[in-house]
Structure 1
């Protein structure tokens, strides 16, 4: 099959100085993309700064014959988000691809988590996603082309202990991507979510001795495809973990219709309510929101008719 390339495309990748982001930047650059390597060089908790990581990746790309510039602004502020996108416009005159990968961690139980630690993680993951999407999205729509890849986590889908801040932020990113997919569709802009798992510095302190191979290079190809013009999906989530690539999706059970409910009724029928036999899968694009309402109303109408006929 022909190689999927990014010639003449400009990609902004946040958190690209190390780990997954670095691997994404090197992959896209090796296939012709001009890359803005964004990374303030912060610690895992999001503190301190170091221009070295972004500069090092830029040098790697240039040494391999590619084009790249560094940007050390933080995604955590609206001003930083705009500056990151401006770096692409100033250096290369356009933006075609946005991969928001920047992240931080601050661990604490839900009972003990401080408001500062909650906000610090949302500022980078969720608000950071909005800050760069808000700056890039209108430019993409005006150009009639764009690929947005936002990073969620299994922690955002299933949760995990001691990371309420992280789980909330990563769940919110799914909603943001869905809106970008809906609003961008008619303008040639596609938005999807990557749910990656790889051994990077964020795994420090964990016993990974029994893990299968989980290097960032196993996740990068899925991100590369989502970022490519041939990407045929939008408003979806791809999981990438230890060589496995899969689709994650949200579904609803068909549920149960009654013209009236009591608290006791819900308890009596909870098994039927939760029965996944005829689940609904409602794609975000073109009309998952409307389909949810339409199908729900249809059940109510059909149920009312059956009740009337039985009287």
Structure 2
């Protein structure tokens, strides 16, 4: 149960991301926020992850020899985390925090399960299939229901959110493959943080960073980097070490639920009755998967 709780806590932290940006200073663009978030958070995640990995290595958990395959997978995790940021923030900017986050994270379990199926040749179990079916219905209702005006999701924002969900699913699977090969989860998290920070440095020259000079900009950058990246991804990776990628991705549907509540309560966003129904169906999928994962085993396949 602890791995499930770790991923759920991480998902709640993830869920504050869109609201933090919306409450941040004017002039903060999706590209700028995403790049700064990763420079701060990726660096902190690398420091924290490698420090914890060294501590575990001293107690007997050693990593396997570094191979070309492991290097490629580590590079994939960093690149996908870097790609996720601007896509996610663009989706929430176009469709609102509630809808944008739900579409991004609601799509990732389906993609994660398909990728895992293709890589491992093992079909996800009945619990994942049932939870993902409910989640897919919930996302569809949200996409078509949209805001209280019933206008549905903005197409560009929808594509950006789906792209973010794809990036999340790919790096979750890449992390899972590394850990299945014997790599310590904190080493994997540290490598992802380092790779994403390096990628983000390349984005900074193209972003407007004037907002960082404001006190609210500093506070937003600190929260987004330290809480929603360093702390959240450390918890997520630790939980992923004991769950399948498909299960972990579906558990992160607590993120859109959190984001939706924050969007409604703090930002005054209003959802249509169809979108509210979608949130309820999504919650049902999350509860189903959490119940089915209450006794997880390392590297086990759901069902």
TM-score range, shorter chain: under 0.3
TM-score between both structures, scaled by the size of structure 2:
0.28
Larger RCO (CA within 8 A; separation ≥ 6)? 2
TM-score between both structures, scaled by the size of structure 1:
0.27
Computing the radius of gyration from Cα coordinates, the structure with the larger value is 1
Q: Identify, as 1 or 2, the structure richer in strand.
A: 1
Q: Identify, as 1 or 2, the structure richer in helix.
A: 2
